[in-house]
């Protein structure tokens, strides 16, 4: 998928197009910016952990989708996240790269930086994928709908 195709697809699957804006798509790597308005803040004024995780999870999901095409049955199967620094309020920049793509799973490395450019979180995301046959059937269905 190109960055424009990924943006159009993302607008269909999440509400509020300003929640996550795709900056670039380069092969297996996607760069996106979340917020600042949609990111929940903790009582101390920093971006909450769940808000950072949401942005990293969604950016990783987009990175896999860019490579394999839309797969509604794709789910996050496992993840680990390290919160490294408090994230100052503002936009959160997330870089996600697919580091392993297999027939039924994908592994993504994601990193989040706050508006100062400070690395605030790092995550490994494991996505379970539908079978290749199921993905091919879905692509054929979408192509048929687009041509009608």
pLDDT, residue 16, reads: 67
Average pLDDT (101-115) is 94
Domain residues for the domain of 41 are 3-147
How does residue 126 score in pLDDT terms, banded at 50, 70 and 90?
Answer: very high
Q: What percent of the chain has pLDDT over 90?
A: 51
The per-residue pLDDT for 42 is 79
CATH number of the domain to which 107 belongs: 3.10.129.10
The mean pLDDT value for 5-9 works out to 86
Mean pLDDT of 125-129: 95
CA 130, CA 3: separation in Å to the nearest integer? Answer: 23
- Above 80 in pLDDT, residue 27? yes
The whole-angstrom separation of Cα 15 and Cα 39 is: 14
Strands (E), 14-74: 20-26, 29-34
pLDDT, position 18 = 67
pLDDT in tens, 50-76: 999 999 999 999 999 999 888 777 899
> Total structural domains in the chain?
1
Rounded Cα–Cα distance for residues 20 and 18 (Å): 5
Phi, psi dihedrals of residue 114, rounded to the nearest 5°: -85, -175
Q: Cis ω on the peptide bond leading into residue 36 (within 30° of 0)? A: yes
């Amino acid at each position: 998928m190109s960055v424009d195709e990924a943006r159009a697809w993302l607008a269909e699957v999440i509400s509020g197009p300003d929640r996550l804006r795709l900056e670039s798509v380069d092969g297996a790597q996607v760069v996106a910016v979340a917020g600042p308005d949609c990111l929940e803040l903790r009582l101390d004024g920093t971006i909450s952990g769940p808000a950072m995780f949401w942005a990293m999870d969604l950016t990783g999901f987009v990175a896999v989708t860019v490579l394999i095409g839309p797969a509604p049955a794709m789910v996050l199967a496992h993840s680990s996240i390290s919160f490294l620094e408090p994230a100052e309020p503002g936009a959160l920049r997330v870089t996600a790269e697919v580091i392993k793509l297999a027939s039924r799973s994908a592994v993504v490395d994601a990193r989040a930086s706050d508006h100062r450019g400070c690395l605030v979180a790092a995550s490994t995301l494991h996505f379970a994928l539908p079978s290749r046959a199921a993905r091919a059937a879905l692509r054929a269905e979408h192509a048929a709908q687009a041509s009608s």
